[in-house]
Amino acid sequence: MLPAVLGGVALAAVGYGIKKYCEEEGCFLDEDEKNRFSNSLNSDDAELEADILREFKNVKLSLYKTTIRETEYALAEIHNLPREVRPPMQELNSDGELTHIEPTEENQKTIQGFCNILQKAKDVQDMFLQRLDAVLLKSSDYGKFAADEKEKVQDVLILNQAIYEATQLPMTFDDATINRTVKRAFERLNILVNN
């Protein structure tokens, strides 16, 4: 029993000595170092968030500046297209802008998935537009289109509407989680582009 007591006293003395030495030599982090460490973690999060937001914005902008704009012009060329199916020319609005969201692993994965879906939607819509180009070279009168040609127009319209719905909804309400409606809209878009 005596060796255990002496060992405990020796251990306490060594611990006290180390504490005194570290206080004099500055072994512990001071407040500035703690703040620098915390800020570097926060700047990493901010950088990650900026990368996620930049990628999403670039994919979305590319889609709107090319494919969506080309879709609108192609549909505008079609005469006698029923008003209820003719989409208006639409500008990219700020409702669907993602300006801030917590850079959690789940959010990053979700937004990366959205980017992939938008890229796939762009590719599919470009393919639909090529088919529509062939139809428009023959005739631009919707009333004279064959059933399969009208179906091609419908494919373009449906995908265009799904892209618009997915990209124009508010992405987040609390800057922490992605809006469920947006997730559903992107899932519907994903189903469309994979069929």
Dump pLDDT digits (tens) for 85-104.
776 665 555 445 656 678 78
Q: What Å distances lie between residue 15 and 3, 11, 21, 59, 68, CA to CA?
A: 18, 6, 10, 58, 69
Question: What pLDDT is stored for residue 41 in this prediction?
Answer: 46
Question: What pLDDT is stored for residue 126 in this prediction?
Answer: 95
- Which of 115, 121, 126, 101 lies closest to 49 in space, CA to CA? 101
140, 78 Cβ separation under 8 angstroms: yes
What element of type H or E holds 114?
Answer: helix 105-138
- Which of 159, 55, 167, 163 lies closest to 109 in space, CA to CA? 55
159, 128 Cβ separation under 8 angstroms: yes
Question: What pLDDT is stored for residue 23 in this prediction?
Answer: 65
**CA 64 – CA 24 distance, rounded (Å):** 62
Question: What pLDDT is stored for residue 102 in this prediction?
Answer: 80
Residue type, 192: L
Question: What pLDDT is stored for residue 82 in this prediction?
Answer: 84
Question: Of how many residues is the chain composed?
Answer: 195
Q: What is the pTM of this model?
A: 0.70
Give 114's contacts (C-beta < 8 A, 6+ positions apart): 56, 166, 186
Residue 68 structure tokens: 């969506």
Residue type, 176: A
- Which of 98, 94, 124, 93 lies closest to 111 in space, CA to CA? 98
| Averages of pLDDT over each 10 residues, the chain, 195 residues | 57 63 60 50 63 85 91 91 70 56 85 94 95 94 93 92 89 85 95 92
Question: What pLDDT is stored for residue 33 in this prediction?
Answer: 53
